[in-house]
Each structure stands twice: as structure tokens, then as C-alpha cells.
Copies of this chain bind each other. A is one copy, B any other.
Amino acid sequence: MKKGRLFVVSGPSGCGKGTILQEILQDPDLYFSVSATTRQMRPGEVDGVNYRFLSNEKFEELIAEDGFLEYAGYCDHYYGTLRQPVEEHLQAGQNVILEIEVVGAKKIREKCPDAIFLFIMPPSLSELERRLRKRGTETEEVVQQRVSQAAREIQCADSYDYVVVNAELEQAVAEVHAILHSETCKNQNKKEIIREVLKK
């Protein structure tokens, strides 16, 4: 049985990561791993879709059992990636996508050295600023904070396997598709294929 591949996607807020993933996840062969959190569910959110909402006790129990590929505390709440669903889907031969910020991604790299890391970039910081302002949902102060945060995150992009610049959505989606496709035929089980082909 061929194991699935684990893909980790990072990119600053406003880079278009969510829209790209939405397109990519049309593929039923991909499993998107939903993060777990202890924060309150907000109106409109669905457990298991936006997050897996866990109690503080349950989350800490899972930490004690090494149940997370990575986790972190942020604004008095925990956020983390559950190990079990990821490993089950990989074992079943399905490819898994995690969307995760740069610090969490670094932890995943240590636990899963075979994972493939993609960083989605805006074409420039000024374009990112324009996109964030266009949303109209954030104050100017928050926009400036996000741009500074983006600049810090982008400096980590060098350690990713692939950097995709999202200047044109369609082109960026095509690039991510190509990466997923080629990495899944970059078989780790070449020996097995060779044996099969030579058999008859």
C-alpha cells in the first residue's frame, strides 16, 4: 500500500492561501486536516469544519499523550494539529494538506521529515497591504501589524521546498496543482514499481 504524502502550506494573512486551498481541495483525493483549538466557537463556525473545538482538559490530555504534531498557546488558548487523523489518512494512502503558520510548520518538519513544504507569497508587501485594506474589515493599525508580521514570515520562506508567488490566482493554483501532482509521482516506492514492472 502506497502511503500518502503530507503537504504543509504556509503564507501570510492576505496572500490568498485560503482561496488557493479552496480550489486545490476540489480534489477528493486530498484530505485537509482541520486544526484543534480550545477557544470558543464563534457564531457561524462549525465544529470539525473551521476547527475541532476541544476543552482545555481534553487538549492537555492529548498533549500528555503526544497527540499533536505541533501545538502552541496564543491569546490564552491552545491551537494544534492532531496527530491521529493525519497519520490515519497517510497510512490509507491519501495525501494530506495542513495549513499552518511558520513556527508550527518548523515543528512539523522535525516530526515529519518527508513532508513537503509550500510557502505562498504575495507579489509584494505593498500589494499585500492593498489587499488587506481592500477587505475593509481591519483598522489601519491592524493592517500595518499584519504587513509587519507578513515581512517576518516571508523571511522564513527560504526553508520551504517550494515558494509560490500569488500574483495571478489561476497561475498560482496551477503551480500548487503541479507541485502536488509531481510530488505524488516522485514515488518513495520506486523499488516496488520497478519490481512490479519486471515481474511479467
Q: Could you list which residues of chain A lie within 8 angstroms of chain B, going by C-beta atoms?
A: 121-126, 151, 154-155, 157-158, 160-165, 174-175, 177-179, 181-183, 185-187, 190-191, 193-194, 196-200
Nearest B residue to A126 via CB reads: B200
Among B121, B125, B162, B185, point to the contact of A163 (Cβ < 8 A).
B185
Q: Does B165 lie within 8 Å of A174, measured CB to CB? A: no
Q: When A125-B197, A199-B124, A200-B124 are in contact, do A190 and B163 touch as well, CB less than 8 Å?
A: yes
Shortest Cβ gap from A188 to chain B (Å): 11
Q: Does A185 lie within 8 Å of B179, measured CB to CB? A: yes
Q: Does A182 lie within 8 Å of B181, measured CB to CB? A: yes
Copies per complex of this chain: 2
Which residues in B have their C-beta under 8 angstroms from that of A181? 174-175, 178, 182
Q: How far is the CA of A55 from the CA of B43 in the complex (A)?
A: 79
Among B123, B124, B164, B200, point to the contact of A185 (Cβ < 8 A).
B164
Shortest Cβ gap from A170 to chain B (Å): 13
Q: When A182-B182, A183-B182 are in contact, do A198 and B161 touch as well, CB less than 8 Å?
A: no
Which residues in B have their C-beta under 8 angstroms from that of A121? 193-194, 197
Nearest B residue to A162 via CB reads: B186
Shortest Cβ gap from A194 to chain B (Å): 5
Q: When A121-B193, A124-B197, A193-B121 are in contact, do A161 and B174 touch as well, CB less than 8 Å?
A: no
